[in-house]
Amino acid sequence: MNFILTLLVAAKGLFIVGGALGGASNVAIAAPALLPGDSVLAMTCSLTNVYPPELRKLALTGTQILLYLFVETWDTERNRPITRVVAENSLRFDAIGDRFVIVRKPGADSLAFTTADSALAASSRFDRIAILQRPAVSSERSYHFVITGVLGSARIDALENKSLDLMYFWKYRRPSVRTEAYRGADLFAHSRGSAQP
């Protein structure tokens, strides 16, 4: 009985202490690219080293893996956020269909992959996320963007459906990057071309 309780504590306890063991997580946000449009600013970016070996194994079991990307727009001079957008990639292995399914939000896109590597790579990428509307910014002011990656919780059927915070696999470290500041006028397409941060 004590052992079962310990197992439940282990799952529910989010492996907080155990996360201190083992090597450091090296997940990072790579090459965010801004895509100015007429009225919407979009962004594409990828996360690297998202799936350490244990998380990869878990993903291959058919456990749903949720990966979030938080994009905050900050008024640089006032140093406060003005908008926040959350994108979600959900990866799940369909054992019956023998394929990997990725569902993207917002937008509810659904992608299917037959190989694990391509599915994992695709789930780490966020394409053309609308992060900013034109009316929200002023042309004369400066803005920068803070991008943060987060893993969500997974339901572990083997542990009586207990929720497991997958951030354990990233050692509870959220990768984050801050872009340089841009003038509001440069963030939308009618004034100049794509802006690469």
- CB contact at 8 A, 37 and 185: no
Q: Three-state SS for 195? A: coil
- CB contact at 8 A, 57 and 120: no
Q: Which of 145, 175, 152 is nearest to 83 (CA)?
A: 145
Helices then strands, counting H and E runs in the chain, come out as 3, 12
- Say whether residue 6 binds another protein (CB under 8 A): yes
User: Do the bridges between strand 40-48 and strand 125-133 make them parallel or antiparallel, or are there none, so unpaired?
Assistant: antiparallel
Q: Which of 52, 60, 122 is nearest to 93 (CA)?
A: 60
* Closer Cβ to another protein, 119 or 147, answer by number: 119
Q: Of 148-187, which residues contact another protein (CB under 8 A)? A: 156-159, 164, 168
* Closer Cβ to another protein, 77 or 160, answer by number: 160
> Segment near another protein (CB under 8 A), from 24-32, 90-98, 101-109, 110-118?
90-98
Binding mask 120-149 for another protein (x = CB under 8 A): ------------------------------
List all residues 6 or more positions away from 153 whose beta carbon is below 8 Å from its beta carbon: 66, 163, 164, 165, 166
* Closer Cβ to another protein, 22 or 106, answer by number: 22
* Closer Cβ to another protein, 14 or 130, answer by number: 14
DSSP label of 170: G
Q: Which of 67, 78, 51 is nearest to 142 (CA)?
A: 78
* Closer Cβ to another protein, 61 or 133, answer by number: 61
Binding mask 23-62 for another protein (x = CB under 8 A): -------------------------------x--xx-xxx
- Residue from 25, 63, 123, 124 in contact with another protein (CB under 8 A): 63
**Matching residue, tokens 């004590």:** 2
- Residue from 1, 24, 96, 108 in contact with another protein (CB under 8 A): 96
Give the residues lining the site for another protein (CB under 8 A): 2-3, 6-7, 9-11, 13, 15, 17-18, 21-22, 54, 57-58, 60-63, 94-96, 98, 156-159, 164, 168
